[in-house]
């Protein structure tokens, strides 16, 4: 017997194939209730963009970015914030979240060993 998650995923695919976007979103919301995967929020945002609901898409991308950040996927979070910012360039909240996330990144210092560099022959 197929799991509930697999059944819902199949339903989502069927609705997407038929371009039944509202039903696909409803099924994706069910799927997200079972599995808090940020990619589900991204896909919902993508569908909302197809429906020309950019404000709703921005909210979905921000929500996905927040989830990615919570899970420690900083690069993926920044990418979603950037996508949301492309749709809503005047949104100061997105900019502040991105800046806060960037500040939390560790600074990686590259240490060079003494023998790595040679003075070029002239």
pLDDT reported for residue 2: 72
Q: How confident is the model at residue 115 (pLDDT cuts 50, 70, 90)?
A: low
Higher pLDDT, 46 or 112: 46
Whether 111 shows a pLDDT value over 60: the answer reads: no
Percent of the chain with pLDDT over 90: 79
The angle that helices 21-34 and 38-50 make with each other, rounded to 10 degrees, is 170
Task: State the pTM of this model.
Answer: 0.81
The CATH label, of 1.25.40.10, 3.30.470.20, 3.40.50.1100, 1.10.10.10, for the domain at 36-102 is 1.25.40.10
- Distance separating alpha carbons of residues 58 and 56, to the nearest angstrom: 5
Residue-wise DSSP of 37-66: -HHHHHHHHHHHHHTT-HHHHHHHHHHHHH
Sketch the domain layout of the chain as residue ranges.
Answer: 1-35, 36-102
């Amino acid at each position: 017997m197929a799991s509930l998650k697999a059944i819902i995923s199949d339903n989502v695919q069927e609705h997407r194939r038929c371009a039944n976007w509202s039903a696909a979103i409803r099924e994706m919301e069910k799927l997200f209730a079972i599995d808090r995967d940020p990619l589900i929020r991204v896909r919902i945002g993508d569908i909302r963009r197809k429906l020309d609901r950019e404000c709703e898409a921005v909210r979905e991308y921000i929500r996905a970015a927040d989830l990615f950040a919570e899970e420690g996927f900083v690069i993926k979070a920044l990418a979603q914030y950037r996508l949301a910012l492309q749709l809503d360039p005047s949104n100061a909240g997105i900019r502040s979240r991105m800046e806060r996330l960037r500040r939390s990144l560790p600074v990686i210092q590259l240490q060079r060993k003494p023998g790595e560099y040679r003075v070029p022959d002239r």
